[in-house]
Amino acid sequence: MAQTITQIRGLLSYIGSCHLLFKRVRRYVLMHLYNPLFGAHGRNFSFDPDGEYYFENIFVGDDVSLGSRPTLIASRSSIHIGNKVMFGPEVTIRGGNHNTTFIGKYMIDVRDVDKRPEDDLGVVIDDDVWIGTRAIILHGVTVGRGAIVAAGAVVTRSVPPYSVVAGVPAKVIKFRWDVDTILRHEETLYPIEKRFSRKYLEKIQNEQRLMGRVK
């Protein structure tokens, strides 16, 4: 009996190993098949082939991981993702919206040709952004450099650089660092022409303080 159990365990382990190998090979093959379909992408680009993509309207920089099972849809606009960006699982980005004001048609019957320009605004994810699990980013949003979008957040407005946003709808809950620390951080990572100025950083942080969102 003990020998039979050992044999069954060995068989199950072998089947599991074969299944894992199949999944890895399938992922590798599909990634190479889908890679050329993107509008453009840089080096070290990782994505889940089982996600949902509007490939030709998605543009991706270097060192980007889109996480598992994302949804990136932009039928009439575009999604631009910068460098050094990482997604948690099941992130959704939608570079468009339904036209719900169309008279004389059921909403399900409204097609892309019936949309207004303001219904399809693109999405920009800047460099060094982390987007948490199942966050949703809607059309017209820019997520600023160094920002963090918390898990489950629904982002309907643009996100200031180096801020942390959370909630439904997403709001700024804090900044990662004070202005002096951000300046030191940028001095280490970016050439002088790409760095934010002190004046700009103070402006965006003061705006959030005036709205009572951060201290």
Number of domains in the chain: 2
Within a domain: residue 198?
yes
pLDDT tens digits, one per residue of 49-72:
999 999 999 999 999 999 999 999
Q: Which two tokens stand for residue 112?
A: 């892309």
* Burial class (CB within 10 angstroms; exposed 0-12, middle 13-18, buried 19+) of 5: exposed
What's the pLDDT score for residue 191?
Answer: 95
The yes-or-no answer on residue 80 being catalytic is no
Task: Enter the pTM of the model.
Answer: 0.84
Its domain, for residue 26, covers: 1-37
| Same domain as 96, residue 21 | no
Q: How far apart are CA 182 and CA 198, in angstroms?
A: 9
| Same domain as 129, residue 24 | no
Beta strands in 82-170 (DSSP E): 85-87, 92-94, 123-125, 130-131, 136-137, 142-143, 148-149, 154-155, 163-166
| Same domain as 74, residue 143 | yes
Whether 85 contacts 125, CB under 8 Å: yes
| Same domain as 26, residue 87 | no
| Same domain as 152, residue 139 | yes
| Same domain as 47, residue 81 | yes
Within a domain: residue 160?
yes
Catalytic, out of 32, 98, 139, 185: 98
Q: How far apart are CA 138 and CA 191, in angstroms?
A: 31
| Same domain as 200, residue 161 | yes
| Same domain as 138, residue 79 | yes
What's the pLDDT score for residue 103?
Answer: 86
What's the pLDDT score for residue 109?
Answer: 87
Within a domain: residue 2?
yes
Within a domain: residue 215?
no
Within a domain: residue 95?
yes
CATH number of the domain residue 84 falls in:
2.160.10.10
Identify whether 160 is preceded by a cis peptide bond (ω within 30 of 0): no
| Same domain as 46, residue 144 | yes
- Mean per-residue pLDDT pooled into runs of 10, the chain (215 residues): 54 56 71 84 93 94 96 92 98 88 85 76 96 97 98 97 97 96 96 95 92 74
What's the pLDDT score for residue 17?
Answer: 61
| Same domain as 58, residue 18 | no
| Same domain as 85, residue 19 | no
| Same domain as 93, residue 9 | no
The radius of gyration computed from the CA coordinates of the chain, to the nearest angstrom, equals: 22
